[in-house]
Amino acid sequence: MAEKVVLYSYFRSSASWRVRIALALKDVKYEYKAVHLIKDGGEQNSEEYKKLNPMGLVPSLEIDGHLLTQSLPIIEYLEEKYPQPALLPTDAYGKAQVRALSEIVNSGIQPLQNLKVLQKYGDGKEEWARFHIERGLIALEKMLEKTAGNYSYGDQVTMADLCLVPQIYNANRFKVDMKQFPIINCVHDKLIQLPAFVAADPSKQPDTPEDMRKN
Amino acid sequence: MAEKVVLYSYFRSSASWRVRIALALKDVKYEYKAVHLIKDGGEQNSEEYKKLNPMGLVPSLEIDGHLLTQSLPIIEYLEEKYPQPALLPTDAYGKAQVRALSEIVNSGIQPLQNLKVLQKYGDGKEEWARFHIERGLIALEKMLEKTAGNYSYGDQVTMADLCLVPQIYNANRFKVDMKQFPIINCVHDKLIQLPAFVAADPSKQPDTPEDMRKN
């Protein structure tokens, strides 16, 4: 792989975080370009960044001479180019289950509580975020009753796990009562021990503020 | 295919609609089970339906003895089982582009303006919906400048088109000014002529109310 890989990321963006885990698991080296979501009204809203990513969202990934957007499509691309370790099962039904678990977070929870949406929501946004995270996690816990082993889908680390960990970080930020989700907690606690998850953590990124840094 | 295929759908649900188009394009016969999203507080919230779909969302698809949830994972499953006509390009970059176009709608717009979320939002929900639809379509139009031909991705009907058409229906419901989106309009107007899109239209479903029916 001679071509440079560049990740446009923000340390605490959960969609960026998912892609960082995938890159770490698949051992793809990359340059980290920080996009500060708060400073100066958000660098993601600059004309320059929007040329790369018209939604004004992180992450974007430069790879193989292409510019990719949207975390799950980026992860699917990495899966095709770097098949090992596999983040999807091999059978069609397994893939559908992992993708559905991923979408519960990706389309069912995260869009309702991301920074842009909460800024627009205004007063009462914490309660709004907490409501939607809790509703989604109730569904996720139910699905995990059928699919989970050590991780979300049996004992294989999958795309669903890459979505789960950042969402639990946000659940805690918004003070969701996590005691009601024993399977999610159990899976989460195992995942965060894995080296790729440790490396991708928001506390360890080039743009992590000093007071949030853990080494 | 001896096994019965059953789609749990609501005529006006845009996620159900995407799957109906996929089933029609791939000529998969199915039984339609209507899930009324309004009546009696919403049949999707019943304990019985939530056993099938813990998020309490349509669509769900019974197929090959499995129960699948979430529209994009369902479409990806259909793509693998019934490869023709293909709804994804063959190359990894093409797939990433089509999936990203799909996610702009699936995670970037639709979750912010679906029925459940608007019911929770309360007063001002029309302006909220319009804001988020418009913001997403501005990004989509920008991306289509690079990818569109007759359809969203060149001249191939793809998963991105299955997401586009229902979203434009909602854009019109919420009175988004569509004049600012010439490429989207052009692609949309071609798509809705295609037989599979005609068959999947909300005006033609078993649960379409009489006064909204067109034959």
- The answer to whether the CB of A47 falls within 8 A of the CB of A59 is no
Distance (Å) from the alpha carbon of B179 to chain A's nearest alpha carbon? 19
Distance (Å) from the alpha carbon of B91 to chain A's nearest alpha carbon? 10
In this predicted structure, what is the pLDDT of residue B2? 54
Dump pLDDT digits (tens) for A54-109.
888 899 999 999 999 999 999 999 999 999 999 999 999 999 999 999 999 999 99
- Interface residues on B facing A, Cβ-Cβ cutoff 8 A: 50, 54-57, 64, 66, 68-70, 72-74, 76-77, 80-81, 92-93, 95-97, 99-100, 103-104, 106-108, 110-112, 117, 120, 128, 131-132, 136, 138-140, 142-143
DSSP helix/strand/coil, B79:
helix
Nearest CA to A182 among A137, A132, A133, A147?
Answer: A137
Phi, psi for residue B153 in degrees, rounded to 5: -125, 95
For B213, half-sphere exposure in the C-beta direction (CA atoms, 13 angstrom radius) is 9
Higher per-residue pLDDT: B91 or A3:
B91
The DSSP 8-state label assigned to residue B179 in this structure reads G
Q: List the structure tokens of B214.
A: 């067109």
CA angle centred on B158, ends B152 and B160, rounded to 5°: 60
In this predicted structure, what is the pLDDT of residue A158? 98
- The answer to whether the CB of B108 falls within 8 A of the CB of A111 is yes
A-to-B residue pairs, Cβ atoms closer than 8 angstroms: 116
Distance (Å) from the alpha carbon of B16 to chain A's nearest alpha carbon? 15
Which residue of B47, B67, B69 is the best one to mutate when testing the A interface, meaning the one whose CB has the most A CBs within 10 A? B69
Whether the ω angle into residue A59 lies within 30 degrees of 0, i.e. cis, is yes
| CA separation for the pair A55, A73 (Å, rounded) | 15
The pLDDT-based confidence of A50 (bands split at 50, 70, 90) is: confident
The residue ranges of chain B whose pLDDT is under 50 are 1
| CA separation for the pair A147, A141 (Å, rounded) | 10
In this predicted structure, what is the pLDDT of residue B45? 85
Q: List the structure tokens of A134.
A: 């809790």
CB contact under 8 A, B117 and A120: no
Q: List the structure tokens of B117.
A: 């979320």
Q: Where are the alpha helices (DSSP H) in A43-122?
A: 47-52, 71-81, 92-106, 115-121
Nearest-10 crossing angle of helices A159-173, A125-147: 140
Positions of E strands within chain B = 6-9, 31-34, 60-63, 66-69
Of B106, B132, B140, the CB nearest to A107: B106
Helix (H) or strand (E) holding A134: helix A125-147
| CA separation for the pair A104, B16 (Å, rounded) | 16
Question: Which value, to the nearest 10 degrees, does the dihedral of the CA atoms of residues A155, A160, A165, A169 take?
Answer: -150
For B171, half-sphere exposure in the C-beta direction (CA atoms, 13 angstrom radius) is 24
CB contact under 8 A, A95 and B77: yes
Give chain B's domains with CATH numbers. 6-84 (3.40.30.10), 92-197 (1.20.1050.10)
Q: List the structure tokens of B111.
A: 């979750």
What residues of chain A lie within 8 A of the CB of B68, using their CB?
93, 96, 100
What residues of chain A lie within 8 A of the CB of B18, using their CB?
none
- Interface residues on A facing B, Cβ-Cβ cutoff 8 A: 50, 54-57, 64, 66, 68-70, 72-74, 76-77, 80-81, 92-93, 95-97, 99-100, 102-104, 106-108, 110-112, 117, 120, 128, 131-132, 136, 138-140, 142-143
Dump pLDDT digits (tens) for A148-207.
999 999 999 999 999 999 999 999 999 999 999 999 999 999 999 999 999 999 999 999
- The answer to whether the CB of A135 falls within 8 A of the CB of A180 is no
Of A54, A96, A120, the CB nearest to B142: A54
What's the one-letter identity of residue A58? V
In this predicted structure, what is the pLDDT of residue B150? 98
In this predicted structure, what is the pLDDT of residue A151? 98
In this predicted structure, what is the pLDDT of residue A62? 96
Q: Each residue of A19-41: b (16+ CB within 10 Å) or e?
A: bbbbbbbbebebeebbbebeeee
CB contact under 8 A, B95 and A117: no
Nearest CA to A71 among B149, A79, A183?
Answer: A79
A109 CB neighbour count, 10 Å cutoff: 28
Helix (H) or strand (E) holding A181: none
Q: Computed from CA positions of residues A121, A127, A130, A136, in that sequence, does the dihedral angle turn out positive or negative?
A: negative
B115 CB neighbour count, 10 Å cutoff: 15
In this predicted structure, what is the pLDDT of residue A148? 98
In this predicted structure, what is the pLDDT of residue B209? 95
Dump pLDDT digits (tens) for A119-159.
999 999 999 999 999 999 999 999 999 999 999 999 999 99
| CA separation for the pair B205, B30 (Å, rounded) | 13
CB contact under 8 A, A96 and B66: yes
| CA separation for the pair A84, A156 (Å, rounded) | 12
Report CA-CA distances (Å) from A33 to A56, A202, B69, B110: 15, 14, 36, 29
Reported ipTM: the value is: 0.96
Whether the ω angle into residue B59 lies within 30 degrees of 0, i.e. cis, is yes
Helix (H) or strand (E) holding A3: none
